[in-house]
Amino acid sequence: MSTPTALEARPRVGSRFRLQWEQAQQSWVLLFPEGMVKLNGSAGEIMKRCDGVRAVGQIVADLEASFGTQGLQADVLAFLDIARGKHWIED
């Protein structure tokens, strides 16, 4: 179970990275001076919502509404933990 503060965090793309849609890759990518990270569909959908304005709870609600599903909170939190560890996002 997550703490309320985890859902209140307002993640944004890390300062070393730039998120953009890459037409040639047909996916969202994170660009950084040393290279590029190609994101899978789910990761791209989460990352493009990490704007520093929306709280994690809002990101989860938006994803659930956009894809007509429920129960994404645990998966989103798990991905954000990984992304934080790789410095893809900052809070």
- The string of pLDDT tens digits covering residues 6-15 is 999 999 999 9
Q: pLDDT tens for residues 35-88?
A: 999 999 999 999 999 999 999 999 999 999 999 999 999 999 999 999 999 999
SS3 state of residue 74: helix
Residue-level pLDDT at 39: 97
Q: How far apart are the first and last CA of the chain?
A: 20
Q: Tell me, what's the pLDDT at 5? A: 84
Q: Which amino acid is present at 13?
A: V
Going along 1-91, which residue ranges are E strands? Answer: 12-13, 18-22, 27-32, 35-38, 89-90
Bridge partners of 51?
Answer: 12
